[in-house]
Amino acid sequence: MTSLPYHGLRLLAVHAHPDDESSKGAATSAKYASLGARVLIATMTGGEAGDILNPALLQSPKASRDIAGLRREEMATAAAALGAEHVWVGHVDSGLPDGDFDNQTPPGCFYRVPDEVAMLPLVHIIRTFRPQVVTTYDELGGYPHPDHIKNHAVTMEAVEAAADATSHPELGEPWQVQKIYYNQDLSAKKWITIHEKMLEAGLESPFADHLEDFKKRDNQRHNWLSTRIACSEFFSARDRALLSHATQIDPEGGFFSASRKAARTYWPTEEFELALDLTGREPLNRELDFQETDLFAAVTFDDGRRIPDEGMLPESPVADDSAADSAVPTESDTRA
């Protein structure tokens, strides 16, 4: 029996809250899982501070009495929809304060825990799971949420510590991650391009009111879209996973509106930014986008076999009608 091509490869996707895994890189996770890779989602917090964003659940006794417990159930359903494994890292949701994060997040929350302490459970997870590739957020969190910013810092420190045999040996044998990527599903370039293509097609764009925000974020941090994964065939799995988070997603609301579904036709991929590459290959040119089509490109298996530098996934396809069956997130849609 021939094994699947990515059997023996492991991807660790580190996210801040339950539902982030379904709105950022979800179709990519589902694709790699279908090809034989083990995909582990590590969720930093329990989403305890999340509001009930679905009007249909506002009167739900369980949602109002135990949102943390309900979100755990939602997360299990979402992971199953993606074909992924899941682990809770164990930190407490910091919420989204209106003012200064340092002074207005509650004591003991994820954002307030020192990085060197907050990373410890993730170091153990990395050393136990032994991923070749890790995904996280950039230093601005993808958008300004305290837990997303913290997610970046803690992941980067944990990867470094996990490889150091002198750092917390009680947490397991050292393990060197070969590549780290930042999720860039919320890149300004992506949404501005979709907006412009919708207008060219004579369609009403749902992004007109967000253009200034997109441009502001692009000026604050210009994202390098080094890698795009052709994964439109897994958009339906992504959407099932996202809808599993019923407390957070209103299926009748803007997220699943017809215009946003149509917008997906113009961008049937998910994007990542290469942040660390220890594969030994020639460095990519940071001036050029879309140089990779495989997160595992140039990665070495445990048995010494090496993925080709160009990877094993096909080039990104031309957008097709099947992509229109999925929704398009905006920054406000994906906040936990």
Residue 273 has pLDDT above 50, yes or no: yes
Instruction: Assign 3-state DSSP to the chain and report helix, strand, coil percentages, each to 5.
Output: 40, 15, 45
pLDDT over threshold 60, residue 139: yes
Return d(Cα 294, Cα 114) in angstroms, integer. 34
The reply to whether the predicted model has a pTM over 0.85 is: yes
Strand pairing class (133-136; 269-277): unpaired
C-alpha dist (Å) from residue 203 to 198, 210, 228: 5, 16, 25
3-state secondary structure of 196: helix
Domain boundaries, the chain: 10-187+225-253+269-314
Q: Is the pLDDT of residue 2 over 60?
A: no
**Least confident window among 48-57, 73-82, 183-192, 318-327:** 318-327
pLDDT of residue 56: 62
Answer whether residue 260 shows pLDDT above 90: no
In words, the CATH class of domain 10-187+225-253+269-314 is alpha beta
Binding site residue list: 17, 20, 148
CA contacts within 13 A on the Cβ side of 24 = 34
Helix (H) / strand (E) containing 156: helix 146-162
| Burial zone of 45 (CB within 10 Å; 0-12 exposed, 13-18 middle, 19+ buried) | buried
CA atoms of 78 and 84, how far apart (whole Å): 9
DSSP letter for each residue of 199-218: HHTTPPPTTGGGHHHHHHHH
* Mean pLDDT score, 184-196: 88
Per the annotation, binding residues for Zn(2+) are: 17, 20, 148
Chain mean pLDDT for the chain: 87
Among 148-152, 187-191, 249-253, 294-298, the least confident range: 249-253
Q: Provide the pLDDT confidence category of residue 213 given band limits of 50, 70 and 90.
A: confident
Give percent of the chain with pLDDT exceeding 70. Answer: 85
According to the model, what pLDDT value does residue 47 have? 87
- pLDDT reading at 327 higher than 60: no
In one letter, which amino acid is 110? F
Residues 38-48, mean pLDDT to the nearest whole number: 95
What sign results for the dihedral spanned by CA atoms 49, 53, 54, 55?
A: positive
Strands 133-136, 10-15: parallel, antiparallel or unpaired by DSSP?
parallel
Give the per-residue pLDDT at 279: 98
Give the mean pLDDT of 313-323. Answer: 49
**What does the block give as tokens for 92?**
């407490």
**pLDDT for residue 335 is more than 50:** no
Q: How many other β-carbons are positioned within 10 Å of the β-carbon of residue 139?
A: 12
Q: Output the furthest CA–CA distance in the chain (Å, rounded).
A: 60
Tell me the average pLDDT across 20-41: 96
Q: What is the pLDDT of residues 53-80, one digit of tens each?
A: 666 666 676 666 677 888 899 999 999 9
Task: Copy the structure tokens of residue 19.
Answer: 């539902």
Cα(110)–Cα(248) distance, rounded to whole angstroms? Answer: 20
Q: In the prediction, which pLDDT does 306 show?
A: 97
Q: For the ranges 218-227, 244-253, 266-275, 281-290, which has the lowest average pLDDT?
A: 244-253
Of the given ranges (111-125, 255-269, 290-304), which has the lowest mean pLDDT? Answer: 255-269
